[in-house]
Amino acid sequence: MVTDMIPPATAPAFLTQAGWDGAAIVPLAGDASFRRYFRVVDGGRRAVLMDAPPPHEDPRPFIAIAQHLLGQGFAAPAILAQDLTQGLVLIEDFGDERLKEHVEEDPAGELAVYRRAIDLLADLHKLPAADVPPYDRAVYQREVGLLTEWYCPALGLDVDADAYHAAWDAVLPIAEQSASPVVTVLRDYHAENIMLIDRPEVRGLGLLDFQDALAGHPAYDLVSLLQDARRDVPPELEAAMLAYAQGTRPSGIMQPIAAELSGTEIRRLSEHYAGMAPTGPAPGPATGDAETLALGRRIAEQGLPEQGVPACASCHGTSTGVGAGRAEAGGQQPLYPELEGQFAPYLVQQLTLWTEGKRGGNAYARIMEAAVRTLRPEQIEAVAAHYAGLQPAGSAAGTQAGERQP
């Protein structure tokens, strides 16, 4: 691995031949390989010198993928000069503003820049994959094998490596048999390899560290971005961006508002409303005849097995602690909101959108879609009336939780 940042002895002659005679060579960065990077400064000109010394490194894959990305209209560094024998490549300098530092300095811009990064991936995935090796079973197994090859021995753990790989062989066909298109997978698409540049035509983003690109599943780079090991992506931002990437939660009302909020602001807003104690029943609670309310209660507590509709309480829980949605029943599930005391017209509207396939959300959206798809309008009205007449959990309005309002 790299132990110093002294420019290679052949660098001055290479730069002279490339038209950068007398330029200053300033240490820039190393990475998890033998590659080193130096900034080359000549008056007002700047470039980056990549030192990829053979036989440890081969800069040709970087050059090939850079040219492929540039040809498809993306901002990869332009190749200014190269000497493959010495492993020296002079490339365009994208500056110092990485996505990581950008969002740390400007948290309010976090959501917007992540949307741009996802839009860039969507652009890339619409195009044919680069001429690169496939992301196949051998590659998957080689990468998951790093756990048993390096991590476990470092901790003194004795593991069954053969059984571990066999377990992966049992589940990897799920990814291999996916109907998703095969796309260019950059493989290191994360906050430290995405540069903020002044080029609106490429969404203002420059790409780095793509020399290990493969042809594979489109989810890889998305997960690399949103489950970044190098910075803590707020869970709210990850969920919102996954929904955005999948197009599962469009909203003409909320989207323009939410787009202006950073991940931190979304989290704080969520905590604010989650921490508010209910003070009474929902405004104008819905009413209904005894038969309607009885039907609503049945749907909420027992479901409609004959229609394939599960009990609402099985996920959302009840104010008495029954179901997955209450802390008393095994842990609070923030993905399943409480329904007691909700405004009936709101519940009717949301359930109708679900049954019409016009409502999306997080990764659990498909559960809700399947649960309510057979509900009829009168059943939706009934369950909405039932929940609207229940006291919210934790209410100080004077009735016991779960007790119907007069």
pTM exceeds 0.85, yes or no: no
DSSP classification of residue 202:
G
Is residue 300 located within the same domain as residue 354?
yes
Does residue 2 lie within any of the structural domains? no
Which residue, 276, 299, 324, sits at the end of a domain?
276
Is residue 149 located within the same domain as residue 243?
no
Is residue 66 located within the same domain as residue 194?
no
Does residue 4 lie within any of the structural domains? no
Which residue, 245, 276, 307, sits at the end of a domain?
276
User: Exposed, middle or buried, 331 (CB in 10 Å: 0-12/13-18/19+)?
Assistant: exposed
Does residue 312 lie within any of the structural domains? yes
Cβ atoms within 10 A of the Cβ of 314, count?
Answer: 17
**pLDDT the model gives residue 166:** 96
Express each pLDDT in 302-347 by its tens digit.
Answer: 999 898 888 888 888 765 544 444 444 433 355 677 888 888 888 8
Is residue 300 located within the same domain as residue 164?
no
Residue 213 has pLDDT above 80, yes or no: yes
Confidence of residue 266 (pLDDT cuts 50, 70, 90): confident
Does residue 308 lie within any of the structural domains? yes
Q: Structural domain tally of the chain?
A: 4
Asked if 11 contacts 49 with a C-beta cutoff of 8 angstroms, the reply is: yes
Is residue 256 located within the same domain as residue 356?
no
Domain of 238: which CATH number? 3.90.1200.10
Residue 165 has pLDDT above 80, yes or no: yes
Q: How many helices (H) and strands (E) does the chain have?
A: 16, 9
Does residue 170 lie within any of the structural domains? yes
Confidence of residue 394 (pLDDT cuts 50, 70, 90): low
DSSP classification of residue 276:
P
Return the higher-pLDDT residue of 201 and 268. 201
Is residue 358 located within the same domain as residue 263?
no
Interatomic CA distance for residues 111 and 98, integer angstroms: 15
φ, ψ for residue 362 (rounded to 5)?
-90, -165
Is residue 121 located within the same domain as residue 188?
yes
Is residue 115 located within the same domain as residue 199?
yes
Is residue 174 located within the same domain as residue 322?
no
Interatomic CA distance for residues 301 and 311, integer angstroms: 5
Is residue 257 located within the same domain as residue 115?
yes
Q: Which residue range is the domain that position 203 belongs to?
A: 99-125+182-276
**pLDDT the model gives residue 331:** 38
Does residue 397 lie within any of the structural domains? no
**Distance between the two ends of the chain, CA-based, in angstroms?**
74
Which residue, 276, 305, 320, sits at the end of a domain?
276
Interatomic CA distance for residues 277 and 397, integer angstroms: 10
